[in-house]
Structure 1
Amino acid sequence: MEYLIRFSQSHETFRVAEIQALAIVAGFNMEIIHYDAESPFCVVRLPSEEAARTLIKRSIIAQSIHEHWGTGGTFDELHAEVKKKTSELWPKYKTASFKISLDNYQGTRPNKQRVALFNSFSYLPFSGEIKMKDPDEEFTIFEQWDFKAVERNLPAPLKVHFGRYIAPSGRDLCLKFDLKKRGYISTTSMDSELALITANIALAAPGKLFYDPFVGTGSFPIACAQWGALAFGSDIDGRSIRGEGKKKSLKGNFEQYGLQQMLGDMFVCDLTNSPVRRRRILDGILCDPPYGVREGLKVLGCRDPEKEPWVVEKGKLIYKEPDFIPPKKPYSFLAMLDDILQFATDTLVDNGRLSFWMPTANDEQQEMGVPTHPCMENVVVCTQVFNKWTRRLITYRRLPDSEVDSEALAQKRSHVPTNGVTADELNPFRRHYFNGFRAQAAVDSAIEAAPK
């Protein structure tokens, strides 16, 4: 049966990725019959109405799902398709109470025209009571107008659909997990909508283990826990995990939502010095790594171990002292991306997913490519565009060993080469950010023209 999904007007590039992931989680096939990124309407084929309800109840980017009765470029075409495709369904709703509503995307209709549209469906042999509140069945006319329809005084929409309402989405969860209502956050906490969508795309579900190596205040583990996964996390800065007390802490956030039973463990480490065993036991890894803009990226270690006596001082093993603070050294942004992929390769189960956020400049000359690894297949790239830069949610699937290109794996270098020692030298995105994303030629010209 065909169903029509009504998406929200946000994060367009995430729409298909999320519903495809939810179909995988639910374990049924879904075929996309028609979708246009310029439209919030998507027609899909699903095995049953129950499958439609299952698909939509976890979706954050969608609003609702409807049994698809017809689509047309005009109302005449729509009526013809409704009569042709659904006449055998009409007796099921003959005596049910019902109402018809109008959803006119990017358009508007005066009340008189709305009534006329409703009356144009009078051929449907429904004899039940018309109820505007809590009817047995709700039917919706969907109109898709040109976004300048009013300005251009266009007489008709681009496309029209008709469907029977099935179920709402889980979009209300965005309000429940709204950062404004959360007890403990930081300036880098991922907003609730994108955290829940990321967890959906990563296939978080009951019985799975998920891990965030840059956990911060816990936005991603909380989203995974909401979908039933057991959540773990770590961070190089233990203060972000401990917070400011029992309630204002990462653990306190889990308790606020009644998800403490889904909290595995949180610990302090960095990705390159992690106690996580290199065993393929994780079902998913999702994270928003630091971009190194506010301050340069760092990992545990010394710039020059011979000049920094951080292990032994005055005959004492100072790293065993309770007040010992381990030293840090600069870290390459590109090396970090490579390390994330290698860590996922070593710890994800077959077909486990890695979803992480990565920034890039909008200018093609400064754009950073999507990282690759022979053991990781890129599933989808979703984008959130800002003024001069974009952040991308990149999702990979851990290939079973039988699908890995052994020759490519043998040729892979052990690490991305790094040139330089300063934060800007090690992080091309940071360098472009503080240059205002100007082309390098323009930067060089400005430097030459500056007074000596």
Structure 2
Amino acid sequence: MREYLVRLVQMHESFRKAELQALADVSGVEMHIIKYEEDSPFCVIGLPSDKAAHAMISRSILSQGIYELWGHGRNYNALHASIKNLSPSKWNAYHETPFRFTLDSFRGSRTPTEQRDIVESFSYLEFAGPIRMKEADVSFRVFEDYDHEAPEPKYLYMGRFISGSGRHAKTMYDLKKRHYISTTSMDAELALLTANIALAAPGKFFFDPFMGTGGFPIACSHFGAITCGSDIDGRSIRGTGGSARKGQMGKKDVEGNFRQYGLEERYLGGFVSDLTNTPLRITTPCGNEQNGGYLDGIICDPPYGIREGLKVLGSREKLGDKERATHHDRCKEPTYIPPKRPYSFIAMLDDILAFAASTLVDGGRLSMWMPTANDEDIELVIPTHPCLEIVSVCVQPFNKWSRRLLTYRRLSDSEVSQDSLHMTKKEYETGIKADELNGFRRKYFEGFKEFQKLRLETATGRRVSDESTELEKTSN
């Protein structure tokens, strides 16, 4: 094992280790994390070779690049001593090579004079090749890691550049440049990151049961996967504007998004469905002797039901024979909109896991976004299934709530405990109103009210009643 330094980006910190491990898994690379801190963008890992380092980092979204680590220390004297101790056997290979030497200061800065003095302090490496700041054959970089407003760095690294990351893809797929989006389209960076953690890759088949305008399938197809999706609202798939078949201008739809990026050959299409009424083949339940799964990955951002209640296809009331016959005739009409009935939020999460357990291949992954509150009394329990193992839980915090990316691995039947298969049937929330069927939605608004009340009491220094006019104004 050789040591490498990954220059991470300092954002989405709880996702970074999960992505690194997923990149190692999808590349078939053995990796060990040697040093990692959430407050720092510098991560030291162990890898077998430069080739493995390139294969792993080339599709990373939350890193800038990877470097062969030549030395490290708490100050420049310690850094120079480390380089002279760890890497002298590597120096001669670059003696006559055109090179460049740069400085990366995280949360700190150096004047041009200071930068020059730092670079010249490495003259003992005796690089005699020409200096080329552009198109150099080999690049070296010194990394300084500062605490906030500290005058001197707390730690230093020096390394040889191996490979850049795939972070440029977030700009390529930027929603501002996309052909067709909606108000719920997932940010391109997070969609690509989710596809990485789900192990999207060439030769794999991925499905999104809540595809909307196709953000997740596009991200998976970017990494080489064959994709398809469904949505309960056919309008989001069909899009708006003219007819693509007739060549009319102005047509905006999911298929057009794939054409925009040259990915149409990796898109099988989308269809109108919900998870409880899917036309996809459901295999035998987990725990049988052989898994008949066919999906390599399921990646989705289910509706949270905050702005409006969750619904699935179906009538609110049981239909008689005459009514059923009427619906059967009407469904053939072009303007027909199928009826929908209320749906429990917790039941939806469990249905997603059950669907994944019945359709994923052994080792296949489900990556699902799920909301939760920052208040422990409101936080939702992570759903589980006996045939699915939780791989990682990543959190994106907001003001008073967060959302988590939950990633599961489909266990082989030999790994499933037979005792765990005999689960007690759950009792889900019942009712016809959104709040009755969605505990998160109900607690979300209750928590918001209490949060505003507490903030107002803190600001005014006096107790505020629930009926206070001031509280109502603040909540609005």
TM-score interval w.r.t. the shorter chain?
A: over 0.9
Q: After TM superposition, give the deviation of residue 172 of structure 1 in Å.
A: 0.8
Alignment of 1:206-225 (within 5 A): 206-225=202-221
Counterpart residue number, 1:107? 108
Counterpart residue number, 2:324? 311
Pick aligned residue for 2:200 from 189, 204, 208: 204
Pick aligned residue for 1:401 from 385, 404, 413: 413
Please give the alpha-carbon distance, in whole angstroms, between the structure 2 residues aligned to 1:287 and 1:271. 12
Contact preservation (8 Å) 2:255, 2:269: no
Contact preservation (8 Å) 1:222, 1:254: yes
Equivalent residue letter for 2:83: V
Counterpart residue number, 2:227? 231
Contact preservation (8 Å) 1:288, 1:357: yes
Counterpart residue number, 2:436? 425
Measured at CA, do residues 118 and 309 of structure 1 come closer, stay the same or move farther in structure 2, by a change above 3 Å? farther
Measured at CA, do residues 308 and 361 of structure 1 come closer, stay the same or move farther in structure 2, by a change above 3 Å? farther
Q: Deviations over 1:280-302 (max 9, x none)?
A: 10000000001111211100112
Measured at CA, do residues 412 and 405 of structure 1 come closer, stay the same or move farther in structure 2, by a change above 3 Å? farther
Contact preservation (8 Å) 1:338, 1:416: no
Counterpart residue number, 2:389? 377
Counterpart residue number, 2:43? 42
Pick aligned residue for 1:329 from 328, 334, 341: 341
Q: After TM superposition, give the deviation of residue 148 of structure 1 in Å.
A: 2.7
Measured at CA, do residues 160 and 309 of structure 1 come closer, stay the same or move farther in structure 2, by a change above 3 Å? farther
Counterpart residue number, 2:474? none
- Please give the secondary structure, in 1, of the residue aligned with 2:391: strand
Q: After TM superposition, give the deviation of residue 265 of structure 1 in Å.
A: 2.2
Please give the alpha-carbon distance, in whole angstroms, between the structure 1 residues aligned to 2:369 and 2:392. 12
Measured at CA, do residues 187 and 449 of structure 1 come closer, stay the same or move farther in structure 2, by a change above 3 Å? closer
Q: After TM superposition, give the deviation of residue 384 of structure 1 in Å.
A: 0.8
Q: Deviations over 1:161-200 (max 9, x none)?
A: 0001111111111111111011100000011111111000
Counterpart residue number, 1:355? 367
- Supply the RMSD in Å over aligned alpha carbons: 2.1
- Please give the secondary structure, in 2, of the residue aligned with 1:437: helix
- More moved, 319-328 vs 215-224: 319-328
Equivalent residue letter for 1:344: A
Please give the alpha-carbon distance, in whole angstroms, between the structure 2 residues aligned to 1:13 and 1:202. 16
Contact preservation (8 Å) 1:432, 1:438: no
Contact preservation (8 Å) 2:342, 2:433: yes
Please give the alpha-carbon distance, in whole angstroms, between the structure 1 residues aligned to 2:437 and 2:79. 58
Q: Deviations over 1:300-320 (max 9, x none)?
A: 11222148964134x974444
Counterpart residue number, 2:271? 267
Please give the alpha-carbon distance, in whole angstroms, between the structure 2 residues aligned to 1:88 and 1:316. 78
Measured at CA, do residues 132 and 367 of structure 1 come closer, stay the same or move farther in structure 2, by a change above 3 Å? same
Counterpart residue number, 1:179? 175
Q: Deviations over 1:318-354 (max 9, x none)?
A: 4444543221111111111010000000000001000
Pick aligned residue for 1:286 from 299, 311, 314: 299
Q: After TM superposition, give the deviation of residue 437 of structure 1 in Å.
A: 3.1
Contact preservation (8 Å) 2:95, 2:126: yes
Contact preservation (8 Å) 1:4, 1:67: yes
Q: Deviations over 1:107-149 (max 9, x none)?
A: 0112222122112111112111222222221110100000232
Counterpart residue number, 1:437? 448
Counterpart residue number, 1:22? 23
Equivalent residue letter for 2:384: T
Measured at CA, do residues 166 and 98 of structure 1 come closer, stay the same or move farther in structure 2, by a change above 3 Å? same
Alignment of 1:341-352 (within 5 A): 341-352=353-364
Contact preservation (8 Å) 1:363, 1:437: no
- Please give the secondary structure, in 1, of the residue aligned with 2:297: strand
Contact preservation (8 Å) 1:361, 1:437: no
Equivalent residue letter for 2:162: I
Contact preservation (8 Å) 1:310, 1:318: no
Please give the alpha-carbon distance, in whole angstroms, between the structure 2 residues aligned to 1:359 and 1:28. 32
Contact preservation (8 Å) 2:368, 2:407: yes
Please give the alpha-carbon distance, in whole angstroms, between the structure 2 residues aligned to 1:28 and 1:316. 54
Contact preservation (8 Å) 2:29, 2:56: no
- Please give the secondary structure, in 2, of the residue aligned with 1:127: coil
- Please give the secondary structure, in 2, of the residue aligned with 1:239: helix
Q: After TM superposition, give the deviation of residue 402 of structure 1 in Å.
A: 0.7
Please give the alpha-carbon distance, in whole angstroms, between the structure 1 residues aligned to 2:167 and 2:196. 12
Please give the alpha-carbon distance, in whole angstroms, between the structure 2 residues aligned to 1:180 and 1:448. 43
Please give the alpha-carbon distance, in whole angstroms, between the structure 2 residues aligned to 1:48 and 1:219. 34
Contact preservation (8 Å) 1:311, 1:319: no
Counterpart residue number, 2:312? 299
Equivalent residue letter for 1:425: E
Matched, 1:251 2:255: yes
Please give the alpha-carbon distance, in whole angstroms, between the structure 2 residues aligned to 1:131 and 1:183. 40
Equivalent residue letter for 2:208: D
Matched, 1:170 2:166: yes
Q: Deviations over 1:390-426 (max 9, x none)?
A: 011100000111111211111242x552233210111
Counterpart residue number, 2:140? 139
Q: Deviations over 1:25-80 (max 9, x none)?
A: 11120111111111001111111111111111101111011111111111111111
Counterpart residue number, 2:7? 6
Contact preservation (8 Å) 2:103, 2:143: yes
Equivalent residue letter for 2:137: D
Identify unmatched segments of 5+ residues in structure 1: none
Measured at CA, do residues 446 and 369 of structure 1 come closer, stay the same or move farther in structure 2, by a change above 3 Å? farther
Give the TM-score taking structure 2 as reference length: 0.89
Q: After TM superposition, give the deviation of residue 448 of structure 1 in Å.
A: 8.2
Please give the alpha-carbon distance, in whole angstroms, between the structure 2 residues aligned to 1:332 and 1:147. 46
Contact preservation (8 Å) 1:335, 1:416: no
